[in-house]
């Protein structure tokens, strides 16, 4: 699926230690403007997804009809009323990683740090755009989507990446999984979200585990249900 990798300036500013883009120093904004051109030339975004049926949702696990069992109490609580699931893998491609390493090797540490932050924001935005697109599509069908979950976050073990990747043809992916279950290229994101009938229990399909968590400084914290 074609999804643009755009950079939200205020999100970038937060990663760089500011409140909004206007609070970032002039020298940093100048570097960002120069790096934006480089970023656009390097980025090669791609997003892959599979639409699968859920066989059952048990306490602590989600069992797919033609696939593995995902083990996570919080994921299973989110998927309680879902009968379908979307598995996705998104990537910016390997060129951005290469440029970050090149800048690091030449001791251009500020530029490398900024480009890394830009890529993180763009990758997150790809997934957010895809999620919103699917949300609109399923609303037209009288359905609703849950929040996104990724292996390695909350109580879903990073090792479950292997199960998620098994849903895809490795020959068609531009993303590889290392022995430690990290993705290459590094600026890649994988995850899932559920699909539930629109008239299902509101308290279930709007479940957000972040609202139950006391770790307020988590970079992945979501303050709303969707």
74-118 tens-digit pLDDT: 999 999 989 999 999 999 999 999 999 999 999 999 999 999 999
12-25 tens-digit pLDDT: 999 998 888 888 89
Question: In 3D, which of 139, 225, 156, 143 has the Cα closest to residue 192?
Answer: 156
CATH of the domain at 188: 3.40.109.40
21-37 tens-digit pLDDT: 888 899 999 999 999 99
Q: Examine residue 225 and state whether it is found in any structural domain, yes or no.
A: no
Tell me the C-alpha distance between 33 and 161, whole Å: 35
30 within 8 A of 135, measured Cβ to Cβ: no
Give the H or E element holding residue 190.
Answer: strand 188-197
What is the residue range of 74's domain? Answer: 9-212
Please report how many Cα atoms fall inside a 13 Å half-sphere around the Cα of residue 86, on the Cβ side. Answer: 24
DSSP string of 31-86, one letter each residue: HHHHHHHHHHHH---EEEEEEEEEEEEETTEEEETTS-EEE-HHHHHHTTT-SEEE
Which whole-number Å values give the CA distances from 37 to 30, 33, 104, 171, in the listed order?
12, 7, 19, 31
Tell me the C-alpha distance between 118 and 115, whole Å: 5
Q: What is the pLDDT of residue 214?
A: 64
151-206 tens-digit pLDDT: 998 899 999 999 999 999 989 999 999 999 999 999 999 999 999 987 655 544 46
Contacts of residues 201-207 at CB distance under 8 Å and 24 or more positions apart, as own/partner, are 201/81, 204/77, 204/80, 204/81, 205/81, 205/82, 205/144, 205/146, 207/77, 207/78, 207/80, 207/146, 207/147
Q: Examine residue 118 and state whether it is found in any structural domain, yes or no.
A: yes
pLDDT interval class at 210 (50, 70, 90):
low
Q: Examine residue 150 and state whether it is found in any structural domain, yes or no.
A: yes
Q: Examine residue 217 and state whether it is found in any structural domain, yes or no.
A: no
Q: Examine residue 146 and state whether it is found in any structural domain, yes or no.
A: yes
Q: Examine residue 54 and state whether it is found in any structural domain, yes or no.
A: yes
56-81 tens-digit pLDDT: 999 899 999 988 999 999 999 999 98
Q: What is the pLDDT of residue 226?
A: 45
Q: Examine residue 2 and state whether it is found in any structural domain, yes or no.
A: no
Q: Structural domain tally of the chain?
A: 1
Q: What is the pLDDT of residue 130?
A: 96
Q: Examine residue 166 and state whether it is found in any structural domain, yes or no.
A: yes
């Amino acid at each position: 699926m074609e999804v643009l990798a755009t950079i939200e300036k205020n999100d970038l500013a937060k990663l760089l230690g500011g409140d909004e883009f206007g609070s970032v120093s002039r020298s940093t904004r100048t570097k960002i403007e120069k790096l934006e051109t480089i970023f656009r030339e390097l980025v090669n975004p791609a997003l892959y997804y599979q639409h699968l049926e859920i066989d059952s949702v048990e306490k602590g696990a989600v069992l797919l009809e033609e696939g593995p069992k995902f083990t996570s109490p919080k994921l299973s609580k989110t998927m309680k009323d879902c009968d379908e699931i979307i598995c996705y893998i998104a990537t910016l491609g390997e060129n951005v990683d290469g440029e970050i390493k090149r800048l690091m090797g030449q001791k251009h540490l500020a530029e490398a740090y900024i480009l890394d932050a830009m890529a993180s924001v763009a990758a997150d935005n790809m997934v957010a755009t895809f999620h919103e697109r699917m949300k609109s599509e399923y609303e037209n069908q009288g359905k609703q989507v849950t929040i996104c979950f990724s292996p390695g976050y909350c109580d879903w073990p990073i090792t479950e990446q292997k199960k998620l990747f098994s849903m895809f043809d490795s020959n068609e992916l531009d993303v590889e999984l290392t022995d430690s279950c990290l993705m290459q290229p590094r600026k890649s994101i994988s995850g899932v979200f559920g699909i539930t009938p629109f008239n299902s229990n509101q308290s279930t399909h709007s479940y957000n585990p972040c609202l139950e968590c006391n770790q307020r400084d988590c970079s992945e914290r979501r303050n709303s249900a969707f």
